[in-house]
Amino acid sequence: MWSPAAERLDADIAVVGAGPAGIAAAVVAAEHGRRVLVLDEGLRPGGQIWRHGGGEGAPRAPLPARRWLARLERSGARVLDGTTVVDGEPGWSLLAEREGRPLRVRAEALILATGARERFLPFPGWTLPGVLGVGGAQALLKSGLPVAGRRVVVAGSGPLLLPVAAALAGAGASLRVVAEQAPAHRVYGFAARLWRSPVRLALAARYRYGFLRTAYRPGCWVLRAEGDDAVGAAILTDGRRTWREACDLLCVGYGLVPATELPRLLGCDLTGGAVVVDENQRTAVEGVWCAGEPVGVAGVEAAVAEGQIAGLSAARAAVPAGLRRSRAEARSLAAVMDRAFLLRAELRRLPDAGTIVCRCEDVSLGEIEAGWGTRHAKLATRAGMGACQGRVCGAALQFLFGWEADRVRPPILPASVATLMEAGTEAAPPAGRNT
Ligand SMILES: Cc1cc2nc3c(=O)[nH]c(=O)nc-3n(C[C@H](O)[C@H](O)[C@H](O)COP(=O)(O)OP(=O)(O)OC[C@H]3O[C@@H](n4cnc5c(N)ncnc54)[C@H](O)[C@@H]3O)c2cc1C
């Protein structure tokens, strides 16, 4: 079979991910004279929070983002948008796909800044049209989803509920309730901790002001979604009382989980689902750094500080103490946030035997046995073997059953046959370990 020869590019440092962490890493490394290549599957640099449109009328990136994006342009780092990294070999050689064609990147150092994704937990009715993730709703709003006059319930957990609720209300949605599963004492305890972080406190207050007419209810969660062809109502509970909230859209998300497929594929160590790094963001694998959400979900300030530390360290430049302080502050707040928004045990009991848990392969909870583990579930039912390769159901099954994540195999994201044929065509020396 004919395979288009892979394009080949060399760099001193390859950065995977052009969110805040990847951009910050690329900028400082390029400013120190290193040849930097940034690969991102998105259409333009920015990642999740600095996502912005390209054309006229499209949303502008926020101010700090615009500063970093301008610096990125000036830095001399080369950015390859629309480029999906699907495999990597020690050496370092990355295999990516760009415009349907394979691309090989060789670099002395890799910085992995692959971000996080939303956590979905299954409940009866969650596959009905009109039920979507909180982050998904945010992305659709940014791309112009009309919600004016539509009845919307926002539910789940974590700070992300606030900007999305504010954005929905601002776009004219009839917001019914914002249900936060964490109990009130933990949520307000977290809010009190924000006094030490006035910028975040102001932001939280601004978001709350954005949907002031709608109740924000801690200690409240969705039991099920009801509807025939599409969602028509959410059944909510606060543990004592259960009620029905009519809605046309139900946005539910349970926080974020680090995207660690590439670090795991390359052999990085993980703990608690996050990549282990040293004080310079170096992973256990020689020549590989990691920054931002894969190291643990901690928000944009941590991502920017860690990106700079990783970029400077990979460029063999000194790391200013101020950056380490910013990282420590952001990480300490993130630890408080994790405790505040810990998921309640009741959420494990939401799905019944008929509830689909793996949407790609149509596997329901009743087909899975708790004692199995991720790999066994894959082999027995194909759960996690569909198009998303377990990126949605994997985190859910880990939460429901306490299972470990399964081993990662290439390609880590869907790839064309041409790209797959390119995989394994280059032999490489074995990986070393950072000591
Ligand atoms: C759905 C969602 C909504 C969010 N909304 C908010 C919000 O409203 N407010 C807020 O403060 N924070 C929000 N966050 C959190 C915020 O996005 C992060 O704190 C911040 O963006 C972290 O930056 P990062 O660089 O670590 O990751 P990201 O910004 O997520 O960037 C990671 C980048 O890596 C790329 N990537 C990943 N894997 C590959 C691959 N294999 N090949 C090529 N490219 C790859 C992705 O395309 C992405 O551009 C949200 C997060 C998510 C997931």
pLDDT tens per residue across all 435 residues of the chain = 345 578 899 999 999 999 999 999 999 999 999 999 999 999 989 998 887 665 555 567 778 899 999 999 999 999 999 999 999 987 778 999 999 899 999 999 999 999 999 999 999 999 999 999 999 999 899 888 899 999 999 999 999 999 999 999 999 999 999 999 999 999 999 999 888 888 889 999 999 999 999 999 999 999 999 999 999 999 999 999 999 999 999 999 999 999 999 999 999 999 999 999 999 999 999 999 999 999 999 999 999 999 999 999 999 999 999 999 999 999 999 999 999 999 999 999 999 999 999 999 999 999 999 999 999 999 999 998 888 888 889 999 999 999 988 888 888 988 888 888 877 665 444 345 554
Distance 120 CA to ligand 1 centre (A): 16
Residue of 15, 43, 44, 48 best suited for mutating to test ligand 1, as the one with most atoms within 8 Å of CB:
48
Distance 305 CA to ligand 1 centre (A): 15
Residue with CA at minimum distance from ligand 1 atom 31: 19
pLDDT at 307: 98
First-to-last alpha carbon distance for the chain, in angstroms, is 44
Each residue's pLDDT tens digit, 244-261: 999 999 999 999 999 999
* Nearest atom within ligand 1 for CA of residue 138: 3
The answer to whether the CB of 117 is under 6 A from ligand 1 is: yes
Residue with CA at minimum distance from ligand 1 atom 37: 114
The answer to whether the CB of 343 is under 6 A from ligand 1 is: no
Distance 108 CA to ligand 1 centre (A): 25
- Beta strand pairing call for 116-118 and 256-258: antiparallel
pLDDT at 274: 96
Of the candidates 281, 289, 265, the residue with the CA atom closest to the CA atom of residue 331 = 281
The answer to whether the CB of 259 is under 6 A from ligand 1 is: yes
Distance 49 CA to ligand 1 centre (A): 6
Q: How many CB atoms lie within 10 A of CB 305?
A: 28
The answer to whether the CB of 80 is under 6 A from ligand 1 is: no
The answer to whether the CB of 154 is under 6 A from ligand 1 is: no
The answer to whether the CB of 47 is under 6 A from ligand 1 is: yes
Q: How far is CA 256 from CA 134, 156, 366, 376, in A?
A: 11, 11, 26, 25
**5 CB-side CA count, 13 A:** 3
Residue with CA at minimum distance from ligand 1 atom 32: 115
Report the predicted TM-score, pTM, of the whole model to 2 decimal places. 0.93
**Spatial contact of 428 and 87, defined as CB atoms under 8 Å apart:** no
Distance 42 CA to ligand 1 centre (A): 10
pLDDT at 270: 95
As a whole number of angstroms, the distance between CA 34 and CA 156 comes to 43
**Spatial contact of 251 and 75, defined as CB atoms under 8 Å apart:** no
Distance 48 CA to ligand 1 centre (A): 4
Q: How far is CA 278 from CA 143, 283, 434, in A?
A: 38, 7, 10
As a whole number of angstroms, the distance between CA 434 and CA 176 comes to 52
Q: What angle do CA 376, 84, 399 make, to 5 degrees?
A: 35
Residue with CA at minimum distance from ligand 1 atom 53: 117
